[in-house]
């Protein structure tokens, strides 16, 4: 087996994820090196991700490197991966998912319910902005870009009173001791694919794909397939006010999803359950239910 080249972004979290895969490959007897690649999302740190105006802003350059054969596999946060894959590329493995929930880090140690009126809460995610405003319409939600360290520093310095982050990312970086509150899915449904990694390869690279088969986690792939099917039906990218959470319990697939008005004034939310044999169908069906209940109007207002 040849030495493999792993393409990744250069942030601390992205490098942790790539190192996690490299170490797993090493235990399987496969040598790999990490290749850092700067993406459009990394280059444009000012303003919202939505304002950049493209899907896949955190992975496109890495996918270009895959197609150019300068790397052999790529490690992404699955929530950054659009539902439409470029021709010739596949998600060869989706490892077991970490905790999908969001969390709050506040300067005062207050939780979301007890933050003072007017508290400045930073996040660049329309989904998080909408659900924070719905839970606490009296706080001041502000745009916040940057890596995990940057966001935490803004809170430490007092520029912001709190920020909302993916709990899995803080756990991976051993920063979960900074968490003030892990947010219940009843309060904040996570992003599609949040907490899961995606290992992408070329479809024709059978040797690399064979190395990754054992890394794929069946229950995780079933769950995120259902979530991504909702996203595909709603024709959304990673920057839409959509939350979704699927999980396998007692042999059945449970799926919750919501679409929110960005100002938090409205939400369309529904749940369903079905067989694990057809997760894509279950996700598309729930997407249809959301649209029938008015989700399309909220997405148009959000600028989808």
In the sheet that holds 197-202, the strands lie side by side as 32-36, 4-8, 73-77, 197-202, 89-93
Q: Which helix (H) or strand (E) holds 171?
A: helix 167-172
Pairing of strands 120-122, 140-142: parallel
Residues with active-site annotation: 80
Using alpha carbons, select from 226, 258, 256 the residue that is nearest to residue 240.
Answer: 258
Buried b (16+ CB within 10 A) or exposed e, 243-259: bbbbbbeeeebbbbbbb
Distance spanning both ends of the chain, measured CA to CA = 44
Pairing of strands 197-202, 73-77: antiparallel
């Amino acid at each position: 087996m040849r030495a493999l080249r792993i393409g990744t972004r250069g942030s601390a979290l992205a490098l942790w994820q790539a190192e996690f895969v490299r170490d797993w490959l090493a235990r399987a007897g496969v040598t790999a090196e990490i290749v850092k690649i700067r993406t459009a999302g990394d280059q444009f740190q000012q303003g919202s991700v939505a304002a950049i105006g493209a899907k896949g802003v955190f992975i496109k350059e890495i996918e270009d490197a895959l197609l150019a054969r300068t790397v052999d596999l790529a490690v992404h946060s699955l929530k950054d991966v659009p539902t439409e894959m470029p021709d010739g590329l596949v998600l060869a493995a989706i490892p077991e998912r970490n905790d999908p929930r969001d969390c709050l880090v506040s300067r005062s140690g207050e939780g979301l319910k007890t933050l003072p009126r007017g508290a400045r809460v930073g996040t660049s995610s329309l989904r998080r902005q909408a659900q924070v405003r719905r839970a606490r319409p009296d706080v001041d939600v502000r745009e916040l870009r940057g890596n995990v360290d940057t966001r935490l520093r803004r809170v430490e310095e007092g520029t912001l009173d709190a920020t909302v982050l993916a709990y899995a990312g803080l756990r991976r970086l051993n920063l979960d001791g900074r968490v003030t509150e892990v947010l219940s899915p009843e309060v904040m449904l996570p992003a599609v694919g949040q907490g899961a990694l995606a290992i992408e390869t070329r479809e024709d690279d059978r040797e690399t794909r064979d190395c990754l088969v054992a890394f794929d986690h069946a229950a995780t792939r079933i769950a995120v397939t259902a979530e991504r099917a909702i996203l595909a039906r709603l024709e959304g990218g990673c920057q839409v006010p959509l939350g979704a959470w699927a999980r396998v319990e007692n042999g059945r697939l449970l799926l919750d999803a919501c679409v929110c008005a960005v100002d938090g004034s409205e939400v369309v939310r529904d749940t369903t359950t079905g067989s694990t044999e057809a997760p894509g169908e279950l996700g598309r069906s729930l997407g249809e239910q959301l649209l029938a209940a008015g989700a399309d109007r909220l997405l148009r207002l959000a600028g989808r």
